[in-house]
Amino acid sequence: MKVEQLIVQYLYNNKTVTVQDIGTFTISPELHVPLDNEKDTPLPEGSIHFDYNTKATQDDGLIEFIVQQTRKIKPLATSDLESYSILSRQFLNIGKPLVIEGLGTLVKTQQGSYEFIQGNTLNAKLEPAPAQMKEKQNEEIVFTTPERPASSNKALAIIIGLVVLAGVAFGIYYLLNHKSADNTLEPVNTDTVATVVPPIVDSNLLKKDTVAIPVAANDGSTFKVVVKEYATRADAEKALKRFSGYGHNLVLVTVDSTHYKLAMPFTKPITDTLLAKDSLKKIFQGQPSILQ
């Protein structure tokens, strides 16, 4: 289920909801929302009120509701809600209207604030929640390759055995034919063979023109995997503090005044970058990337 749907459902249940850094929606106490109705319900005009507030903090009740409905751990639910707020503000800042199904539309005014236009219908149907996930106290990143099934190992052994047998057969065939060809060669007349004398080269010239060939460095190197991106430094520092409190070792990377990244550093061979990205994707969601 999308974060947007969960925000709307929480508003239907609790009559008020706050979206951080955007503002607070309040639904009229007199409005009855039939939560068991699968069809859209007409929404009377003036039933929903919006208070614009760029300093609005996160709604703890909303986060708990997201955890219950999605079965995600609290840090992931908080991160999802934070990402929704950031993307929504970026969408509004480029002049696009933000449509919230079952609620209405947010638009950015010429004065820079957000104006809410109420919709005409409610949509109270909730989608079923996914299978429950248990929260781990300490999430460990594993770079080892999963153990192959016994059937897979057996098939691999058979393939290797066939390749070895084919190689042995080819070797025997080559030796037998090569020996037969050597026995049919005519003797060489040594009187007609010219003796080739290599030219004399000054050893000093060889030393002068010799260029040392550099030795390739070891493949091990340090890299960082980007797990989150933010538009303001305040948002990035806030997220860094929160994730650090969960035991994650992250660093803040400043790209420019509107691009900030949270990345996890590694000292592993460069070939482990794919495994690192896959492991971090399970923890932080999104699409982790290698910091260029």
DSSP 36-101: T--S-EE--TT-EEEEE-TTPPP-HHHHHHHHHHH---HHHHHHHHHHHHHHHHHHHHTT--EEET
- Domain for residue 36, yes or no? yes
Mean pLDDT of all residues in the chain?
Answer: 77
CATH number, domain containing residue 76: 4.10.520
Residue 190 CA to residue 193 CA, distance in Å, equals 5
Print the domain residue range for 105: 3-122
Q: What is the pLDDT of residue 221?
A: 53
Residue 17 CA to residue 3 CA, distance in Å, equals 13
CATH number, domain containing residue 272: 3.30.70
pLDDT of 129 over the 50 cut:
no
- Domain for residue 153, yes or no? no
What are the φ and ψ backbone dihedral angles of 278, each rounded to 5 degrees? Answer: -65, -40
Report for 109-113, 144-148, 213-217: range of highest mean pLDDT: 109-113
- Domain for residue 105, yes or no? yes
Q: What is the pLDDT of residues 51-77, one digit of tens each?
A: 999 999 999 999 999 999 999 999 999
Mean of the pLDDT values across residues 163-173? 83
Higher pLDDT: 199 or 23? It is 23
- Domain for residue 175, yes or no? no
Q: Which of 122, 144, 163 is the last residue of a domain?
A: 122
- Domain for residue 95, yes or no? yes
pLDDT of 106 over the 80 cut:
yes
- Domain for residue 278, yes or no? yes
pLDDT-based confidence at 174, cuts 50/70/90? confident
**Residue 265, number of CB atoms within 10 A of its CB:** 13
Q: What is the pLDDT of residue 102?
A: 84
pLDDT of 156 over the 60 cut:
yes
- Domain for residue 37, yes or no? yes
3-class state of residue 234 by DSSP: helix
3-class state of residue 131 by DSSP: coil
Pair (116, 7) in one structural domain: yes
Q: Which of 122, 141, 157 is the last residue of a domain?
A: 122
Pair (226, 115) in one structural domain: no
Q: What is the pLDDT of residues 198-254, one digit of tens each?
A: 444 444 433 444 333 333 344 445 788 898 899 999 999 998 988 888 888 888 999
Q: Which of 107, 122, 137 is the last residue of a domain?
A: 122
Q: What is the pLDDT of residue 205?
A: 39
Higher pLDDT: 25 or 211? It is 25
Q: What is the pLDDT of residue 261?
A: 92
Q: What is the pLDDT of residues 76-97, one digit of tens each?
A: 999 999 999 999 999 999 989 9
Q: What is the pLDDT of residue 200?
A: 45
The candidate with the shortest Cα–Cα distance to 89, out of 126, 122, 132, 56, is 56
DSSP label of 272: G
Q: What pTM value is reported for the model? A: 0.43
The continuous run of DSSP H or E covering 23 comes out as strand 23-27
3-class state of residue 25 by DSSP: strand
Pair (224, 115) in one structural domain: no
pLDDT-based confidence at 145, cuts 50/70/90? low
Number of domains in the chain: 2
Q: Is residue 21 a contact partner of residue 55, using CB atoms and an 8 Å limit?
A: yes
- Domain for residue 229, yes or no? yes
pLDDT-based confidence at 147, cuts 50/70/90? low
Among 11-20, 120-129, 213-222, 263-272, name the one with the lowest average pLDDT.
213-222
Q: What is the pLDDT of residue 291?
A: 83
What is each CA distance from 133 to 73, 77, 136, 258, in whole angstroms? 8, 12, 9, 35
Q: What is the pLDDT of residue 167?
A: 84
What is each CA distance from 186 to 173, 206, 210, in whole angstroms? 23, 41, 43
Residue 59 CA to residue 106 CA, distance in Å, equals 19
